[in-house]
Chains A and B, each alone.
Chain A
């Protein structure tokens, strides 16, 4: 039942597991859907979709899956009675008791029977607003019985009597949430966890068992020793390339790092454009007014910081190699000089490049930067982040 639907969801790369599908099948048997299309939709959504970003994709699939069913009309069925015989038989079973069947047969045989069926169906349509019996019979169409309602699916108790209703899933209210993300942030966070550096700071409130045992043995009485709690002391300095093609990536990277707040107790970030020069900024809309001198940053953030550059590293080679080559202002010193200073200042450094790795070779500037960073350039993928953590945790 609904297997097609399940595979359609799978095809749309919505992660549904068999378990969830079983839950869904189990739950439609429960009585609280009350034969209401809307409620059926909600139930499918709550049991199959676990991420608001996927709801929009789900809505689309749901809509597609239902479209064909709507178009089946009562008259079609009755006019072309070349539907499978079993199906008709089952319909008859459903709508007439044995006694009634006998009565009708007595009335006038099959033609009469069909007429009465038609009548019965039309009554039903009024009573149930459609969608009451969508569990398919002959297996051809799981929603076969949708045809009961010539006007298509009507939904929502509130809208009754207001003519055709807009289907909830067609409203696609969750459209804004679908960012078709390539990045699995969770995987990355797990990878970033490796960067944690534990150090003991703050109030002594943790029981130090080893010390307690040693001192108790020595002193002959229970001598409880405490120590400071372990805290993550890693410090991260992030330089993000903004402007133009990088903006989409930057948002992802920012989300990634701010979500990983637990991993980094101390996280500072600055923006630059294309290449590092004498000034960086924290607020992109005020980049010309509120610049921080790069030298100042060298002074403020000591060698213990791990330094991460994020950028696509694709620009004109002049922007790295030539004085005055920067495309937005006149730089006294080349970008290369500034990058090398940064590398000297923070020995733990890495460049994360969100563009696809196989394209790097075609861009001259990417190669130059990769060389400046002595090959410490990784792609923005789980594997890349893992590699970056390895590079950064080397002492």
Chain B
């Protein structure tokens, strides 16, 4: 089992190594990186390229670790007991399986994506240490131990909103997805828009990197923004020459796809104003 990117996901050497190490040694892989560099997409592509099913667990600020394992619906059971339902004899009827259970139970090896783990409470990763290490957990209500049939490939993404605990980090492989350089980005764009003209691509990307390089941006545009923007450029059928920056118009056409922060747009307007004053 070996991952080497797919036809619509350009993967770098270092990313491949990290993914393959985590697949072979059966340890979780923690992926960090700027928003929009394809962290979540990676898990989907791994599942696709290896032909495995994917189980996605999206974390919210209210998510508890227990929910990933199972939930015991005591209220339904209480209600059913009032109605004299036979179902109540078996407590198993009221255990709701979580995503991790699903992944452990799956007959084939599966890909388990724990998306945006940093959104959850600060203790969340600690609560999953044993489960991800041993790939088993204990269900108190029914006295059973759930053990993974085939250890799933665990991909965990984080946006760096919170630091993760050391003990958790020690058990993972780690990869930081760098923002791609212009050549890689070209390849990525070509995968998504094979019909794009070379001249447009070149000037759009040049422009894009110019914007990214402006110091002091609150939210730098990243890969997904670049793709959205180029899509818009294609739809509007923009001439590559229109994208050249000429000082008085620092903001490129359709910049709404790139700059999503009011302050950033203000920054550009101020820069444009200054550029005009200098002439």
Contacts and interface: CB of A to CB of B under 8 A. Distances in A.
Contacts of B30: 50
Nearest to B12: A42
B140 to A, nearest CB: 18
A135 B82 CA distance: 70
Interface string B225-249: 0000000000000000000000000
A132 B158 CA distance: 35
B18 A49 contact: no
Nearest to B174: A50
B137 interface: no
B13 interface: yes
Interface stretch (A81-89, A183-191, A271-279, A291-299): A183-191
Contacts, number: 83
B176 A174 contact: yes
B276 interface: no
B21 A46 contact: yes
A254 B166 CA distance: 23
A3 interface: no
B61 A262 contact: yes
Interface in B178-204: 178
B134 interface: no
Nearest to B165: A186
Given A43-B21, A55-B176, A50 B78 contact: no
Interface in A19-66: 19-20, 23, 26-27, 30, 32-33, 38-39, 42-43, 45-47, 49-52, 55
Interface in B11-63: 13-14, 17-18, 20-22, 24-25, 27, 30, 32, 61
B169 interface: yes
A37 B200 CA distance: 37
Contacts of A20: 170
Contacts of A177: 176
Interface string B58-87: 000100000000000001001100100000
Contact of A46 (B14, B79, B169): B14
A49 B79 CA distance: 51
Given A32-B2, A262-B121, A49 B174 contact: yes
A173 interface: yes
B89 interface: no
Contact of A19 (B121, B161, B170): B170
A56 to B, nearest CB: 11
A186 B122 contact: yes
A68 interface: no
Contacts of A50: 30, 169-170, 172, 174
A186 B162 contact: yes
A193 interface: yes
Contact of B17 (A42, A189, A259): A42
B122 A193 contact: yes
Nearest to B168: A50
A302 interface: no
A15 interface: yes
A362 interface: no
B178 A173 contact: yes
B24 A259 contact: no
A344 interface: no
B90 interface: no
A19 B79 CA distance: 49
A221 B82 contact: yes
B253 interface: no
Contacts of B24: 27, 30, 32
B155 to A, nearest CB: 13
B175 interface: yes
A38 B174 contact: no
B170 A207 contact: no
A30 B22 CA distance: 12
B262 interface: no
Nearest to B23: A32
Nearest to B162: A259
Contacts of B173: 23, 46-47
A157 B175 CA distance: 21
Contact of B162 (A23, A27, A49, A189): A189
Nearest to A30: B24
Q: Which 8 A-B pairs have the closest CB atoms?
A: A186-B163, A50-B169, A46-B18, A52-B176, A42-B17, A42-B14, A50-B174, A46-B173
Given A42-B13, A50-B170, A156-B13, 20 more contacts: A23-B27, A23-B173, A30-B24, A32-B17, A32-B20, A38-B13, A42-B14, A46-B21, A49-B174, A50-B172, A51-B169, A51-B174, A52-B176, A157-B13, A168-B14, A177-B176, A190-B122, A221-B82, A259-B161, A259-B162
